[in-house]
Amino acid sequence: MVMTDVVIAGGGPAGLAAAIRSAERGLRTLLLERSASVPDKACGEGLMPAGAHELERLGARIPQGGSASLRGIRYLEEDGTVLEGQFGGRPGMGIRRTVLAEALRERATAAGADLRRGTVLATHPRFDAVEVGTDSGVLDARLLIAADGLHSPLRRAAGLDAGNGSGPMRFGIRRHFALAPWTDFVEVYWAPRIEAYVTPVGPRSINVALLHDRDGARDFDDLLAPFPALRERLAGASVDSDLRGAGPLLQRARARWAERLALVGDAAGYVDAITGQGLSLAFAASSVLMESLPDDLSLDLGPALRRYDERLRARWLQYALPAHALVALSRRPALRRAALRSVSAIPGAFGALVRLVAMA
């Protein structure tokens, strides 16, 4: 059996970024994605400036008209309060997941990664390699990268799941509308225990994502009811995608590695989409991982993977702390209104907070 250096389970943004960076290092890289078509999923599709920068460093080419430039974040509260913060410097990017995946796939293939359809089913680490069971047979690799998403079966099988906490669970759902964007800000409409995120993703396309704690709620129009101003904006616009949902969003990992296994992207743990940093973190994880690995992957990878975990934890905290804080405010509408009122009273404070999160 031919030994592959790196097998990646999952062809979402995290897996594709890992494939690009692994192949660029000259490692024999095989990525298996279980979906037949380019995977699409529930996502607000807003890349913060840090993520847009990582995407550029990955060398992915986004086709003309395939994205929208984002200038900042605008909060709109139910009492009419509006807070606006600009990213300053580098802009963010709104981009449909299918466009992003196509661009990353093209770049990964050009870098030399082998992308195939397939499902990783099981993994058995040995001394200097890992046996990867797939739906089309067993492969030998030096390292398995699990990029299998929020509910990562590989994280669970490796005993790295730490559950999803005790508070009310949060869920997400999204739909596209064929509509010219009315702004180059990501708009966040607040209502009690639900928010609507509007992201321009192209010259005639906007993404509307809703984050809420109503387990099982699948009726987009019902969920949109607390946002009359947004409903008015969307009235008459044609729906431009199939509905996609995800959740529960909070997924904790005990660690981001096990023997000959590294977790990247949502598989490495996730808090919430409330700050729109998941893609940025997914891109960052693959570069941190590749920087942590030794040249000779037949060595004991434990120290390198532990280093990866420690280095990623610093990035993770920059994401997790604001995300937990905002989720807590989302659950307490009166406190949220008071907190945002205090922020709006200090000139420049909201912009400073936006830049802090956007560059993390």
Ligand X SMILES: Cc1cc2nc3c(=O)[nH]c(=O)nc-3n(C[C@H](O)[C@H](O)[C@H](O)COP(=O)(O)OP(=O)(O)OC[C@H]3O[C@@H](n4cnc5c(N)ncnc54)[C@H](O)[C@@H]3O)c2cc1C
Give the nearer residue to ligand X in terms of CB position, either 49 or 51.
Answer: 51
Q: How far apart are CA 360 and CA 187, in angstroms?
A: 20
Cβ-count burial 47-84 (b if 16+ within 10 Å, e if not):
bbbbbbbbbeebebebeeebbbebbbbbbbbeeeeebb
Is residue 263 involved in binding ligand X (CB under 6 A)?
no
Closest-CA residue to 25 (of 320, 205, 286, 249):
286
Confirm or reject binding of residue 35 to ligand X (CB under 6 A).
yes
Give the strand pairing for 3-9 and 29-33.
parallel
CB of 270 to ligand X, least distance (A): 6
The reply on whether position 119 binds ligand X by CB under 6 A is yes
Is residue 87 within 8 Å of 119, Cβ to Cβ?
A: no
DSSP 97-139: HHHHHHHHHHHHHHHT-EEEE--EEEEEE-SS-EEEEETTEEE
Ranges within 150-189 binding ligand X (CB under 6 A) = 150, 172, 174
- Interface pick for ligand X out of 44, 66, 85, 226 (rule CB under 6 A): 44
**Is residue 280 at the binding interface for ligand X, with CB under 6 A as the rule?**
yes
Separation of alpha carbons 300 and 219, rounded Å? 50
**Residues sharing a CB contact under 8 Å with residue 298, sequence separation 6 or more, in sequence order:** 128, 129, 142
CB of 68 or CB of 209, closer to ligand X: 209
CB of 49 to ligand X, least distance (A): 11
Size of site (CB under 6 A) for ligand X:
40
* Using rule CB under 6 A, residue 52 touches ligand X: no
Count of positions (residues) in the chain: 360
Per CB under 6 A, 278 contacts ligand X:
yes
Q: Binding to ligand X by residue 14, rule CB under 6 A? A: yes
Residue 9 touches ligand X, criterion: CB under 6 A: yes
CB of residue 232 vs ligand X: minimum separation in angstroms?
A: 23
Cα gap 175→272, rounded to integer Å: 18
Using CB under 6 A as the binding rule, whether residue 269 contacts ligand X is answered as no
Nearest distance, CB of residue 325 and ligand X, angstroms: 17
Please tell me whether residue 49 binds ligand X under the rule CB under 6 A.
no
Near ligand X by CB under 6 A: residue from 148, 187, 195, 213: 148
CB of 305 to ligand X, least distance (A): 18
Which residues are CB-contacts of 287 (< 8 A; sequence separation ≥ 6)?
A: 17, 21, 54, 57
| Identity of the residue numbered 284 | A
Q: Is 41 in the site for ligand X (CB under 6 A)?
A: yes
- List contacts with ligand X (CB under 6 A): 9-15, 32-35, 39, 41-47, 51, 119-120, 147-150, 172, 174, 209, 246, 265-267, 273, 276-280, 282
